[in-house]
Amino acid sequence: MKASSSASLIIATRESALALWQAEHVRDRLQALYPDTRVTLLGMTTQGDQILDRPLAAIGGKGLFIKELEVAMEEGRADLAVHSLKDVPMDMPSGFALAAVAKREDPRDALVSSRYTALAQLPKGAVVGTSSLRREAQLRERYPHLVIEPLRGNVNTRLRKLDEGQYDAIILAAAGLIRLGFGARIAAFLDVEDSLPAVGQGALGLECRADRSDVIAALAPLIDSDTLLAVSAERAFSRALGGSCQTPLAAHAVRESNGGWWLRALLADREGREVMRGERRGEANSIPEAEALGLALADEFLTRGARRLLPT
Strands (E) across 125-271 are located at: 127-130, 147-150, 169-173, 186-189, 204-209, 249-255, 261-268
Contact status, residue 243 vs residue 90, Cβ threshold 8 Å: yes
List beta partners, residue 11: 41, 80
**Cα torsion through 232, 244, 160, 137, rounded to 10:** -100
**Catalytic residue of the set 49, 79, 87, 194:** 87
Pick the closest to residue 276 from 236, 248, 246, 244 (CA basis): 248
Distance CA 257, CA 251 (A): 20
What pairs with residue 189 in β-bridges?
110
Cβ 159 vs Cβ 16: under 8 Å: no
Task: For residues 274 and 307, give the distance between their C-alpha atoms in angstroms, rounded to a whole number.
Answer: 13
Interatomic CA distance for residues 84 and 201, integer angstroms = 7
Q: What is the DSSP string of 43-89?
A: EE--HHHH--SS-HHHHT-GGGGTHHHHHHHHTTS-SEEEEEGGGS-
250 vs 168: CA distance, rounded Å = 25
In 49-203, which ranges are E strands? 80-84, 96-102, 109-112, 127-130, 147-150, 169-173, 186-189
Q: Which residues contact 278 (CB under 8 A, 6 or more apart)?
A: 264, 265, 266, 297, 300, 301, 304
Is-catalytic flag, 36? no
Active centre residues (catalytic): 87
